[in-house]
Amino acid sequence: MRTTAVEFGLSARAVCEALGIELVELEDWSCCGASSAHSLDHELFVRLPARNVALAQAAGLDIVTPCPACYQRVLVADLQLREDRAWRREMEDLLGFTYTGQSRPRHLLEILSEPEMVDAVRERVTQPLRGLRMVSYYGCVLVRPPGITGWDSPENPVRMDRLVEAIGAEPVDWSWKVDCCGASLTLSRRDIVVTLSTRLAEAAGEAGADIIACACGLCHINLDTRQNLAEGKPVLYITELIGLAFGLPGVERWLRKHTVDPRPVLRERGLLA
């Protein structure tokens, strides 16, 4: 959230502050292992996020993450801590804690799209994004597998669309909501990610959208940097869009960092100076 997805980190913090959600950075958090842990080493796959579960518990707070992979990994580690007694004891020894299961792992979008939150977002909007048509791109592990994540439909999720509506923009339906962007293959098989990202960006255009809204750092960087269209389709984090609708200062600072510049289309709609 401070590096390749810095716009997500900054906009998420700003939006939560505006909504009165207090975010406390998990002290001394470490990487959950993302795709690489489960790809090479099953034990590391569950151990790395287990450390964050232990830290959150010590802080007495729920874990909220804007990253779908972190979210899913922490859920899996939490589940295993709860169900595998022998492994739990091993982790308690290694990490120096006693598991209580009190910290609930949640995804930021899950929280922002709760009905009361959507109402709060709607009320806080000072500049409704009128005339801006956008598709909601949920990506893969945010809503799958349904047995693990389960807070929105794995085939036709709608909760990001509801937020899009709440900020005054026009949610556009499309059939690529949950199609993978190619994820971690972005360096090792660039060609695949170019193919998938280009297809997604094209589909957004065919559906009549000006913008693709997303909630994942990897989806964003893939769609933003790997789409290969004559005219780029801007990809924005849902939190950037909410921040824009709230009229928060510094929005342009986030938008400047994109590879496909979203500012022209926003200026066209009179949403940016």
Partner 1 sequence: MANVCKPDPAFRQAVRDRSGEPIQLCYFCHKCTAGCPVAYAMDYKPAQVLRLVQFGQKDKVLRSFAIWLCVGCEICGTRCPYRIRLVPVFDTLRYMALQEGYRPEPKVYALHRSFLDSIRLWGRVHELSMLLEYKLRSRDLFSDLAMGISLIFKGKIPILPERIRRLVQVRQLYTKRPSKP
* Closer of 48 and 164 to partner 1 (Cβ): 48
Omega prior to 105 cis, within 30 of 0: no
Residue with tokens 């200026």: 267
Nearer to partner 1, 51 or 124 (CB): 51
Closest to 240 measured CA to CA, from 4, 16, 11, 9 = 11
For the bound state, the minimum distance from the C-beta of residue 8 to partner 1, rounded and expressed in Å, comes to 11
Q: Which is nearer to partner 1, 13 or 38 (CB)?
A: 38
CB 178 within 8 A of CB 157: yes
> Are the beta carbons of 144 and 106 closer than 8 angstroms?
no
Q: List interacting residues with partner 1 (CB under 8 A).
A: 2-4, 6, 28-31, 33-45, 47-48, 51, 90, 94-96, 140-141, 144-147, 154-155, 178-180, 182-185, 187-190, 192, 196, 225, 256-257, 259
Least distance from partner 1 to the Cβ atom of residue 137, Å: 13
Q: With respect to partner 1, which residue has the nearer C-beta, 170 or 179?
A: 179
CB of 212 to partner 1, least distance (A): 16
Rounded least distance, CB 23 to partner 1, Å: 18
Strands, E assignment, the chain: 63-65, 105-107, 133-137, 170-172, 211-214, 235-237
Please identify, using beta-carbon distances, which residue of 35 and 127 lies nearer to partner 1: 35
CA distances for 137 relative to 143, 144, 205, angstroms:
11, 14, 13
CB of 256 to partner 1, least distance (A): 7
